[in-house]
Amino acid sequence: MAATRPYDIVVFGATGYTGGLTAEYLAHQAPAGTKWALAGRNREKLEAVRARLAQISPPCAQLPLLTADATDPASLKSVAESTRVIITTVGPYILHGEPLVAACAAAGTDYVDLTGEPEFVDLMWLRHHEQAVKTGARIVHCCGFDSIPHDLGAYFTVQQLPEGVPLTVEGYVRAGGTFSAGTYHSAINAFARMRQSMRTAKERREREPRPANRKIGSTAAGVRWHKSLKTWLVPFPSIDPQVVKRSAAAIDRYGPDFRYGHYIQVKRLAMVAGLIGGAGTLMALAQLKPTREWLLARKSSGEGPTPEQRAKSWFRVRFHGEGGGKRVETEVSGGDPGYGETSKMLAESALCLAFDTLPKRGGQQTPATAMGNALIERLKKNGIKFAVTTAA
């Protein structure tokens, strides 16, 4: 049914900053013959985006425009039933995201987003995973900097290690650049909803099947100095390690006992204290409505850095893996993490789901379980590096 739909890909939220960058990437990179459309709630703004895209690629002047609103389930149903894959950049997802997930799960439509919100991901699994399994819809969250470099980087590292033995992998993150207003708003809302998030995570743990005869866990190390990296390592409690471990639970290649640790690299001890203290302050301020609203007002959705600022931004995630007597070091690296590379990852994820030969199974999946090596190859061809740096 999905193969006969009028569109291959729809970009929902194309009038926003990151949505616009994603549409621009498709204008440059979508293969000839790709049938795609722009969706959003404001027709006039959609027309402005289409005019900008036509300057990149003249055929984009004919892009269909679909009016849809996150508060109007009927409009989302119509869009979901018209396409094979939907990209959405409309967040914070815990506030605006569920109706589109529900529409895609019901319609058998593949879905990708760039959320880094653990509560939203867990809630969507609880409410819509079973329906998506029945219809064949692949619901793939976290297809931006959260969490593709980390999920696919860990998967890439595992493939360099022996099979059938216990494996340990740690990821060390460094980045220079500005993160989006959407990411900032999502973080503040997540801090404010810690209790709800913990309850949702607990319910998912109770309901989600565990792999038989295999163990998945975390490395035990806390803040520490890493001699070879010459930086402090601070445990990074983002959604990324959760995504990595879910991939490990679903894929036997991660071995009978897989452990993962996820860290930010920090140069000076004083910065470690500042990082931990700053996070604690934001979490405390987010608990009260007046201070939470003040924090949210610090960044406006739809705004972002200039192209010159994005050109100076970068990220690098190093992975150290070991098992079966072998050690390996790998690296995933690229440009602007918050915008340029995130829009690339999101668009390539949608193209991968639309056109590549992938496992035919529905339900909520991680980038590694849904797309794996096919997406790694796409990203490598488009400037994101996956490299083995040391092996012994």
Amino acid at 270: A
Angle between helices 372-381 and 148-158 (to 10 degrees): 110
∠ Cα 228 166 174 (to 5°): 35
d(CA 45, CA 28): 20
d(CA 190, CA 94): 9
Cα(first)–Cα(last) distance of the chain, in Å?
A: 49
- If we measure between CA atoms, which residue out of 100, 282, 60 comes closest to residue 191? 282
d(CA 344, CA 350): 10
| Phi, psi of 243, rounded to the nearest 5 degrees | -65, -45
Cis ω for the linkage preceding 92 (within 30 of 0): yes
Angle between helices 118-135 and 98-107 (to 10 degrees): 20
pLDDT for 181: 66
Per residue in 76-109, is it b (16+ CB within 10 Å) or e — as a string?
bbbbbbbbbbbbbbbbbbbebbbbbbbbbbbbbb
Domain residue ranges of the chain, discontinuous segments joined by +: 2-144+341-376, 148-337+384-391
Give residue for tokens 């193969």. 3
d(CA 268, CA 273): 9
- CATH code of the domain made up of 148-337+384-391: 3.30.360
Both tokens assigned to 265:
């690299």
Judge contact between 145 and 384, C-beta under 8 A. no
Judge contact between 87 and 112, C-beta under 8 A. yes
pLDDT for 220: 79
Judge contact between 127 and 102, C-beta under 8 A. yes
| Phi, psi of 326, rounded to the nearest 5 degrees | -120, 145
What is the pLDDT tens value at each position of the chain, 392 positions in all? 566 899 999 999 999 989 999 999 999 999 999 999 999 999 999 999 999 999 999 999 999 999 999 999 999 999 999 999 999 999 889 999 999 999 999 999 999 999 999 999 999 999 999 999 999 999 999 999 999 999 999 999 999 999 999 999 999 999 887 666 666 766 777 777 778 889 999 999 999 999 989 999 999 778 889 999 999 998 888 899 999 999 999 999 999 999 999 999 998 776 766 666 666 676 677 677 778 777 677 776 666 777 777 788 899 999 999 999 999 999 999 999 988 999 999 999 999 999 999 988 999 999 999 999 999 999 999 999 999 998 77
Amino acid at 276: I
DSSP annotation of 208 reads S
Judge contact between 299 and 184, C-beta under 8 A. yes
DSSP annotation of 238 reads S
pLDDT for 307: 78
d(CA 169, CA 13): 36
- CATH code of the domain made up of 2-144+341-376: 3.40.50.720
Q: How many CB atoms lie within 10 A of CB 43?
A: 12
d(CA 106, CA 79): 12
Q: What is the DSSP string of 314-331?
A: EEEEEEEEEETTEEEEEE
Judge contact between 122 and 320, C-beta under 8 A. no
pLDDT for 103: 98
